[in-house]
Amino acid sequence: MSRGHGRDGARSAVVAVRGAALVLTVAAFAHTLWYGIAEPWHALTFAALVVTGELARWGALPGEREPAPLGAAGALAYALLGRSGGEPTTHGALQVVAVVVAAQLLAAVPHVARGSGPAPDLAARRVLTVGFAAVCFQPLYNSGQSGRWFGEGPYFVLFLLLLLALTALCDAVLAALLLHSRTRYPYGPLLRDELRTLVGIGSAVCATGSVMAIGVAVAGLWALPVLCLPLLLAQVSYRRYAAVRTTYRQTIASLARSTEIAGYTPHGHARRVAELSTAVGRELGLSGRELTVLEYAALMHDIGQLSLVDPVAEGATATLPAADQRRIALLGGAVVRQTGVDTAVAVVVEQQADPYREQPMAARIVRAVNAYDDLCGESAIGPLGALEQLRLATGHDYQPQVVEALAGVLARGGPTQVRPE
Protein backbone atom coordinates (compact mmCIF):
# COMPACT_ATOMS: atom_id res chain seq x y z
CA MET A 1 0.00 0.00 0.00
CA SER A 2 1.36 3.45 -0.90
CA ARG A 3 1.88 6.17 1.68
CA GLY A 4 -0.95 8.19 0.14
CA HIS A 5 -3.37 5.29 0.54
CA GLY A 6 -2.14 4.81 4.11
CA ARG A 7 -2.84 8.45 4.94
CA ASP A 8 -6.29 8.25 3.35
CA GLY A 9 -7.05 5.13 5.36
CA ALA A 10 -5.93 6.77 8.59
CA ARG A 11 -8.05 9.86 7.90
CA SER A 12 -11.02 7.64 7.12
CA ALA A 13 -10.58 5.89 10.47
CA VAL A 14 -10.57 9.20 12.33
CA VAL A 15 -13.63 10.41 10.43
CA ALA A 16 -15.41 7.13 11.18
CA VAL A 17 -14.65 7.30 14.92
CA ARG A 18 -15.69 10.94 15.22
CA GLY A 19 -18.73 10.36 13.02
CA ALA A 20 -19.88 7.39 15.11
CA ALA A 21 -19.48 9.42 18.31
CA LEU A 22 -21.46 12.30 16.80
CA VAL A 23 -24.28 10.05 15.59
CA LEU A 24 -24.50 8.37 19.00
CA THR A 25 -24.56 11.76 20.74
CA VAL A 26 -27.31 13.13 18.51
CA ALA A 27 -29.39 9.97 18.99
CA ALA A 28 -28.88 10.11 22.77
CA PHE A 29 -29.96 13.75 23.06
CA ALA A 30 -32.94 13.25 20.75
CA HIS A 31 -34.13 10.21 22.74
CA THR A 32 -33.68 11.98 26.10
CA LEU A 33 -35.46 15.13 24.98
CA TRP A 34 -38.35 13.11 23.53
CA TYR A 35 -38.91 10.75 26.46
CA GLY A 36 -37.61 12.93 29.29
CA ILE A 37 -35.00 12.17 31.94
CA ALA A 38 -35.56 9.08 34.06
CA GLU A 39 -34.48 9.43 37.74
CA PRO A 40 -33.37 13.08 37.45
CA TRP A 41 -31.52 12.98 40.78
CA HIS A 42 -29.38 10.08 39.65
CA ALA A 43 -28.66 11.76 36.33
CA LEU A 44 -27.74 15.02 38.10
CA THR A 45 -25.53 13.28 40.67
CA PHE A 46 -23.55 11.29 38.13
CA ALA A 47 -23.30 14.33 35.84
CA ALA A 48 -21.85 16.30 38.76
CA LEU A 49 -19.38 13.47 39.39
CA VAL A 50 -18.25 13.50 35.75
CA VAL A 51 -17.95 17.30 35.80
CA THR A 52 -15.86 17.13 38.99
CA GLY A 53 -13.59 14.52 37.43
CA GLU A 54 -13.16 16.53 34.23
CA LEU A 55 -12.36 19.70 36.18
CA ALA A 56 -9.77 17.76 38.17
CA ARG A 57 -7.65 17.49 35.02
CA TRP A 58 -6.52 21.09 35.53
CA GLY A 59 -3.37 19.61 37.00
CA ALA A 60 -2.92 16.99 34.28
CA LEU A 61 0.61 16.58 32.97
CA PRO A 62 1.51 16.18 29.28
CA GLY A 63 1.51 12.51 28.35
CA GLU A 64 -1.24 11.29 30.68
CA ARG A 65 -3.34 8.71 28.88
CA GLU A 66 -6.37 9.30 31.10
CA PRO A 67 -6.29 12.92 32.35
CA ALA A 68 -9.68 12.60 34.11
CA PRO A 69 -9.85 9.15 35.77
CA LEU A 70 -12.54 10.17 38.25
CA GLY A 71 -14.78 11.40 35.43
CA ALA A 72 -14.18 8.19 33.46
CA ALA A 73 -14.99 6.03 36.49
CA GLY A 74 -18.16 8.00 37.18
CA ALA A 75 -19.30 7.64 33.57
CA LEU A 76 -18.68 3.87 33.64
CA ALA A 77 -20.52 3.56 36.97
CA TYR A 78 -23.60 5.26 35.53
CA ALA A 79 -23.43 2.99 32.46
CA LEU A 80 -23.36 -0.08 34.75
CA LEU A 81 -25.99 1.12 37.20
CA GLY A 82 -29.03 -1.18 37.41
CA ARG A 83 -30.23 -0.53 40.96
CA SER A 84 -30.02 2.28 43.50
CA GLY A 85 -30.60 1.56 47.18
CA GLY A 86 -32.14 -1.77 46.27
CA GLU A 87 -34.65 -0.27 43.82
CA PRO A 88 -34.35 -0.83 40.05
CA THR A 89 -33.40 2.12 37.86
CA THR A 90 -35.07 2.81 34.53
CA HIS A 91 -32.58 4.96 32.65
CA GLY A 92 -31.34 3.40 29.45
CA ALA A 93 -28.15 3.37 27.42
CA LEU A 94 -28.99 6.51 25.43
CA GLN A 95 -29.65 8.54 28.57
CA VAL A 96 -26.25 7.45 29.91
CA VAL A 97 -24.57 8.84 26.79
CA ALA A 98 -26.61 12.06 26.92
CA VAL A 99 -25.76 12.70 30.59
CA VAL A 100 -22.05 11.98 30.09
CA VAL A 101 -21.79 14.20 27.00
CA ALA A 102 -23.70 17.04 28.71
CA ALA A 103 -21.38 16.79 31.71
CA GLN A 104 -18.29 16.86 29.49
CA LEU A 105 -19.57 19.91 27.63
CA LEU A 106 -20.24 21.73 30.90
CA ALA A 107 -16.81 20.83 32.30
CA ALA A 108 -15.15 21.95 29.06
CA VAL A 109 -16.31 25.57 29.46
CA PRO A 110 -13.55 26.69 31.89
CA HIS A 111 -10.95 24.70 29.93
CA VAL A 112 -11.98 26.36 26.67
CA ALA A 113 -11.90 29.75 28.37
CA ARG A 114 -8.31 29.01 29.36
CA GLY A 115 -7.50 27.84 25.84
CA SER A 116 -7.02 24.15 26.69
CA GLY A 117 -10.28 22.48 25.72
CA PRO A 118 -10.50 18.67 25.40
CA ALA A 119 -9.24 17.18 22.15
CA PRO A 120 -11.98 15.91 19.81
CA ASP A 121 -10.40 12.46 19.67
CA LEU A 122 -10.42 12.10 23.46
CA ALA A 123 -14.05 13.22 23.62
CA ALA A 124 -15.03 10.78 20.84
CA ARG A 125 -13.27 7.94 22.64
CA ARG A 126 -15.09 8.70 25.88
CA VAL A 127 -18.50 8.79 24.15
CA LEU A 128 -17.95 5.52 22.28
CA THR A 129 -16.43 3.71 25.26
CA VAL A 130 -19.21 4.69 27.65
CA GLY A 131 -21.78 3.98 24.95
CA PHE A 132 -20.32 0.50 24.45
CA ALA A 133 -20.56 -0.30 28.17
CA ALA A 134 -24.09 1.08 28.45
CA VAL A 135 -25.38 -0.71 25.36
CA CYS A 136 -23.92 -4.02 26.58
CA PHE A 137 -25.30 -3.67 30.13
CA GLN A 138 -28.52 -1.65 30.24
CA PRO A 139 -30.71 -3.72 27.84
CA LEU A 140 -29.62 -6.98 29.48
CA TYR A 141 -30.28 -5.72 33.00
CA ASN A 142 -33.53 -3.83 32.33
CA SER A 143 -35.02 -6.84 30.50
CA GLY A 144 -34.12 -9.12 33.42
CA GLN A 145 -31.95 -11.30 31.19
CA SER A 146 -28.76 -10.70 33.19
CA GLY A 147 -30.61 -11.68 36.37
CA ARG A 148 -31.74 -14.96 34.84
CA TRP A 149 -28.25 -15.68 33.54
CA PHE A 150 -26.06 -14.48 36.40
CA GLY A 151 -28.31 -13.83 39.39
CA GLU A 152 -27.24 -11.22 41.95
CA GLY A 153 -24.23 -12.97 43.48
CA PRO A 154 -20.61 -13.52 42.48
CA TYR A 155 -21.51 -14.44 38.91
CA PHE A 156 -23.02 -10.99 38.41
CA VAL A 157 -19.78 -9.41 39.66
CA LEU A 158 -17.81 -11.55 37.22
CA PHE A 159 -20.17 -10.41 34.48
CA LEU A 160 -19.40 -6.77 35.37
CA LEU A 161 -15.65 -7.44 35.38
CA LEU A 162 -15.83 -9.15 31.98
CA LEU A 163 -17.84 -6.26 30.57
CA LEU A 164 -15.33 -3.76 31.97
CA ALA A 165 -12.45 -5.71 30.44
CA LEU A 166 -14.16 -5.58 27.04
CA THR A 167 -14.84 -1.86 27.51
CA ALA A 168 -11.19 -1.20 28.36
CA LEU A 169 -10.14 -3.22 25.29
CA CYS A 170 -12.52 -1.15 23.14
CA ASP A 171 -11.00 2.07 24.50
CA ALA A 172 -7.44 0.83 23.89
CA VAL A 173 -8.28 -0.14 20.29
CA LEU A 174 -9.80 3.30 19.64
CA ALA A 175 -6.90 5.13 21.30
CA ALA A 176 -4.29 3.21 19.27
CA LEU A 177 -6.26 3.76 16.07
CA LEU A 178 -6.52 7.52 16.58
CA LEU A 179 -2.87 7.74 17.61
CA HIS A 180 -1.84 5.77 14.53
CA SER A 181 -3.77 8.21 12.36
CA ARG A 182 -1.88 11.19 13.82
CA THR A 183 1.63 9.77 13.97
CA ARG A 184 1.65 7.05 11.25
CA TYR A 185 3.54 4.82 13.69
CA PRO A 186 2.84 1.07 13.37
CA TYR A 187 -0.52 0.16 14.89
CA GLY A 188 0.66 -2.99 16.68
CA PRO A 189 3.19 -1.35 19.04
CA LEU A 190 0.78 1.52 19.74
CA LEU A 191 -1.95 -0.94 20.71
CA ARG A 192 0.54 -2.81 22.88
CA ASP A 193 1.37 0.46 24.66
CA GLU A 194 -2.30 1.18 25.26
CA LEU A 195 -2.92 -2.33 26.60
CA ARG A 196 0.01 -2.01 28.98
CA THR A 197 -1.43 1.17 30.46
CA LEU A 198 -4.58 -0.76 31.38
CA VAL A 199 -2.58 -2.40 34.17
CA GLY A 200 -2.12 1.02 35.76
CA ILE A 201 -4.67 3.81 35.66
CA GLY A 202 -6.97 1.81 33.38
CA SER A 203 -7.50 -0.96 35.93
CA ALA A 204 -8.07 1.64 38.67
CA VAL A 205 -10.75 3.37 36.60
CA CYS A 206 -12.52 0.09 35.77
CA ALA A 207 -12.37 -1.20 39.34
CA THR A 208 -13.66 2.06 40.78
CA GLY A 209 -16.45 2.24 38.21
CA SER A 210 -17.68 -1.27 39.04
CA VAL A 211 -17.41 -0.69 42.81
CA MET A 212 -19.37 2.55 42.45
CA ALA A 213 -22.15 0.80 40.54
CA ILE A 214 -22.36 -2.04 43.09
CA GLY A 215 -22.14 0.34 46.06
CA VAL A 216 -24.91 2.61 44.79
CA ALA A 217 -27.03 -0.46 44.02
CA VAL A 218 -26.88 -1.40 47.71
CA ALA A 219 -26.50 1.88 49.62
CA GLY A 220 -27.83 4.50 47.21
CA LEU A 221 -26.21 7.70 46.00
CA TRP A 222 -24.69 8.43 49.42
CA ALA A 223 -22.06 5.76 48.69
CA LEU A 224 -20.50 7.79 45.86
CA PRO A 225 -18.40 10.29 47.91
CA VAL A 226 -16.77 7.49 49.92
CA LEU A 227 -16.10 5.36 46.85
CA CYS A 228 -14.59 8.27 44.88
CA LEU A 229 -11.98 9.15 47.49
CA PRO A 230 -9.46 6.31 46.81
CA LEU A 231 -9.25 7.08 43.09
CA LEU A 232 -8.92 10.81 43.76
CA LEU A 233 -6.01 10.17 46.15
CA ALA A 234 -4.43 7.77 43.65
CA GLN A 235 -4.71 10.46 40.95
CA VAL A 236 -2.93 13.02 43.17
CA SER A 237 -0.17 10.52 44.03
CA TYR A 238 0.31 9.55 40.38
CA ARG A 239 0.69 13.17 39.32
CA ARG A 240 3.29 13.79 42.00
CA TYR A 241 5.20 10.76 40.74
CA ALA A 242 4.83 11.96 37.13
CA ALA A 243 6.11 15.40 38.16
CA VAL A 244 9.22 13.78 39.68
CA ARG A 245 9.75 11.81 36.43
CA THR A 246 9.42 15.01 34.43
CA THR A 247 11.98 16.78 36.61
CA TYR A 248 14.31 13.78 36.26
CA ARG A 249 14.09 13.95 32.48
CA GLN A 250 14.71 17.70 32.51
CA THR A 251 17.81 17.12 34.62
CA ILE A 252 19.13 14.60 32.09
CA ALA A 253 18.38 17.01 29.23
CA SER A 254 20.27 19.78 31.05
CA LEU A 255 23.23 17.47 31.62
CA ALA A 256 23.19 16.52 27.94
CA ARG A 257 23.43 20.19 26.97
CA SER A 258 26.78 20.47 28.76
CA THR A 259 28.56 19.34 25.58
CA GLU A 260 26.84 22.15 23.63
CA ILE A 261 27.66 24.76 26.28
CA ALA A 262 31.31 23.63 26.30
CA GLY A 263 31.43 23.92 22.51
CA TYR A 264 31.94 20.22 21.79
CA THR A 265 28.72 19.65 19.84
CA PRO A 266 26.46 21.88 17.73
CA HIS A 267 23.47 23.56 19.33
CA GLY A 268 20.41 21.28 19.55
CA HIS A 269 22.30 18.15 18.46
CA ALA A 270 21.40 16.03 21.52
CA ARG A 271 17.73 17.07 21.37
CA ARG A 272 17.50 16.31 17.63
CA VAL A 273 19.10 12.90 18.05
CA ALA A 274 16.82 12.07 20.99
CA GLU A 275 13.61 13.05 19.17
CA LEU A 276 14.56 11.27 15.97
CA SER A 277 15.81 8.18 17.83
CA THR A 278 12.52 7.92 19.74
CA ALA A 279 10.57 8.18 16.49
CA VAL A 280 12.71 5.45 14.89
CA GLY A 281 12.28 3.30 18.01
CA ARG A 282 8.51 3.54 17.73
CA GLU A 283 8.76 2.75 14.02
CA LEU A 284 10.62 -0.45 14.93
CA GLY A 285 8.11 -1.45 17.61
CA LEU A 286 9.90 -0.41 20.81
CA SER A 287 7.63 0.70 23.62
CA GLY A 288 7.44 1.56 27.30
CA ARG A 289 10.72 1.35 29.19
CA GLU A 290 12.69 0.59 26.00
CA LEU A 291 11.75 3.99 24.57
CA THR A 292 12.64 5.73 27.83
CA VAL A 293 16.10 4.12 27.87
CA LEU A 294 16.53 5.01 24.19
CA GLU A 295 15.60 8.65 24.75
CA TYR A 296 17.93 9.09 27.74
CA ALA A 297 20.83 7.36 25.95
CA ALA A 298 20.31 9.53 22.87
CA LEU A 299 20.34 12.68 24.99
CA MET A 300 23.61 11.67 26.68
CA HIS A 301 25.32 9.86 23.80
CA ASP A 302 27.99 12.58 23.30
CA ILE A 303 28.79 13.27 26.93
CA GLY A 304 32.07 11.37 26.61
CA GLN A 305 33.42 14.21 24.45
CA LEU A 306 33.86 16.29 27.61
CA SER A 307 36.97 14.21 28.34
CA LEU A 308 38.66 15.27 25.09
CA VAL A 309 41.41 17.88 25.21
CA ASP A 310 40.66 19.08 21.68
CA PRO A 311 37.01 19.11 20.54
CA VAL A 312 36.05 17.13 17.44
CA ALA A 313 35.26 19.39 14.49
CA GLU A 314 31.51 20.16 14.64
CA GLY A 315 31.21 17.39 17.26
CA ALA A 316 30.86 14.88 14.41
CA THR A 317 32.07 11.65 16.03
CA ALA A 318 30.67 9.62 13.11
CA THR A 319 33.57 10.80 10.98
CA LEU A 320 36.25 9.66 13.49
CA PRO A 321 38.18 6.38 13.29
CA ALA A 322 36.42 3.44 14.94
CA ALA A 323 38.94 3.28 17.81
CA ASP A 324 38.34 6.93 18.72
CA GLN A 325 34.57 6.46 18.55
CA ARG A 326 34.77 3.51 20.95
CA ARG A 327 37.02 5.42 23.37
CA ILE A 328 34.57 8.35 23.51
CA ALA A 329 31.64 5.97 23.93
CA LEU A 330 33.32 4.16 26.84
CA LEU A 331 34.18 7.46 28.51
CA GLY A 332 30.60 8.58 28.05
CA GLY A 333 29.27 5.39 29.62
CA ALA A 334 31.54 5.92 32.62
CA VAL A 335 30.19 9.44 33.07
CA VAL A 336 26.58 8.24 32.80
CA ARG A 337 27.18 5.61 35.47
CA GLN A 338 28.36 8.36 37.84
CA THR A 339 25.12 10.33 37.39
CA GLY A 340 22.90 7.64 38.90
CA VAL A 341 20.93 7.15 35.69
CA ASP A 342 19.62 3.66 34.88
CA THR A 343 22.49 1.28 34.09
CA ALA A 344 20.76 0.29 30.85
CA VAL A 345 21.31 3.85 29.59
CA ALA A 346 25.03 3.61 30.31
CA VAL A 347 25.23 0.30 28.43
CA VAL A 348 23.66 1.87 25.35
CA VAL A 349 26.04 4.83 25.48
CA GLU A 350 29.06 2.51 25.88
CA GLN A 351 28.09 0.26 22.97
CA GLN A 352 26.97 2.87 20.45
CA ALA A 353 30.29 2.64 18.58
CA ASP A 354 30.42 -1.18 18.39
CA PRO A 355 29.57 -3.12 15.22
CA TYR A 356 25.79 -3.24 15.05
CA ARG A 357 25.60 -7.04 15.31
CA GLU A 358 27.10 -6.72 18.83
CA GLN A 359 24.77 -3.90 19.93
CA PRO A 360 21.36 -3.85 21.59
CA MET A 361 18.63 -2.29 19.46
CA ALA A 362 18.74 1.05 21.29
CA ALA A 363 22.48 1.42 20.59
CA ARG A 364 21.93 0.60 16.91
CA ILE A 365 19.33 3.34 16.68
CA VAL A 366 21.40 5.96 18.50
CA ARG A 367 24.43 5.20 16.35
CA ALA A 368 22.54 5.52 13.06
CA VAL A 369 20.62 8.66 14.05
CA ASN A 370 23.73 10.33 15.47
CA ALA A 371 25.63 9.59 12.25
CA TYR A 372 22.74 10.99 10.20
CA ASP A 373 22.68 14.24 12.18
CA ASP A 374 26.48 14.54 12.02
CA LEU A 375 26.53 13.96 8.27
CA CYS A 376 23.68 16.43 7.70
CA GLY A 377 25.93 19.07 9.20
CA GLU A 378 28.15 18.73 6.16
CA SER A 379 26.53 21.13 3.70
CA ALA A 380 27.94 19.29 0.71
CA ILE A 381 26.10 16.11 1.68
CA GLY A 382 22.72 17.14 3.05
CA PRO A 383 19.91 14.83 4.27
CA LEU A 384 19.67 12.69 1.13
CA GLY A 385 23.42 12.31 0.95
CA ALA A 386 23.55 11.39 4.65
CA LEU A 387 20.96 8.65 4.16
CA GLU A 388 22.86 7.34 1.16
CA GLN A 389 26.07 7.18 3.22
CA LEU A 390 24.26 5.21 5.93
CA ARG A 391 22.85 2.78 3.38
CA LEU A 392 26.32 2.21 1.93
CA ALA A 393 27.64 1.35 5.41
CA THR A 394 24.89 -1.11 6.39
CA GLY A 395 27.19 -4.06 5.86
CA HIS A 396 29.09 -3.41 9.09
CA ASP A 397 28.27 -0.15 10.84
CA TYR A 398 24.49 0.28 10.68
CA GLN A 399 21.63 -2.21 10.76
CA PRO A 400 19.66 -2.05 7.48
CA GLN A 401 16.27 -2.16 9.27
CA VAL A 402 17.24 0.83 11.43
CA VAL A 403 18.35 2.85 8.42
CA GLU A 404 15.13 2.07 6.55
CA ALA A 405 13.05 2.94 9.62
CA LEU A 406 14.94 6.25 9.81
CA ALA A 407 14.20 6.87 6.14
CA GLY A 408 10.52 6.14 6.76
CA VAL A 409 10.33 8.62 9.64
CA LEU A 410 12.06 11.30 7.59
CA ALA A 411 9.78 10.65 4.62
CA ARG A 412 6.80 11.51 6.85
CA GLY A 413 8.36 14.80 7.86
CA GLY A 414 10.43 13.77 10.88
CA PRO A 415 9.50 13.03 14.51
CA THR A 416 5.86 13.44 15.51
CA GLN A 417 4.79 14.13 19.08
CA VAL A 418 2.68 11.23 20.29
CA ARG A 419 1.36 13.01 23.39
CA PRO A 420 -0.62 14.73 24.63
CA GLU A 421 -3.91 13.85 23.04
pLDDT of residue 78: 92
Under 8 Å between Cβ of 244 and 289: no
Estimate the share of the chain in helix, then strand, then coil, as percent rounded to the nearest 5.
75, 0, 25
Instruction: Point out which residues pair with 84 in neighbouring strands.
Output: 87
pLDDT of residue 310: 66
Residue 193 has pLDDT above 60, yes or no: yes
User: 339-376, pLDDT tens digit by residue?
Assistant: 777 788 888 888 888 888 888 899 899 999 988 888 88
User: 29-51, pLDDT tens digit by residue?
Assistant: 999 999 999 889 999 999 998 88
Residue 27 has pLDDT above 80, yes or no: yes
Length of the chain: 421
Residue 165 has pLDDT above 70, yes or no: yes
pLDDT of residue 98: 95
- If DSSP states are collapsed to H, E and C, what string results for 340-382? CCCHHHHHHHHHCCCCHHHCCHHHHHHHHHHHHHHHHCCCCCH
Under 8 Å between Cβ of 207 and 196: no
User: 194-238, pLDDT tens digit by residue?
Assistant: 887 777 777 778 888 888 888 888 888 888 888 888 777 777 777
Assign 419 a pLDDT band (cuts: 50, 70, 90): very low
Half-sphere exposure of 66 (CA within 13 A, CB side): 28
* b/e burial code for range 173-200 (CB count within 10 A of at least 16 → b): bbbbbbbbbebbbbbebbbebbbebbee
pLDDT of residue 8: 55
Longest dimension (CA), the chain: 81
Radius of gyration of the chain (CA): 26
Q: Side chain identity at 345, as an amino acid letter?
A: V
Q: How far apart are CA 371 and CA 409, in angstroms?
A: 16
Is the pLDDT higher at 96 or at 52?
Answer: 96
Closest CA to 146 of 169, 131, 166, 163: 163
pLDDT of residue 342: 79
Residue 188 has pLDDT above 90, yes or no: no
pLDDT of residue 322: 77
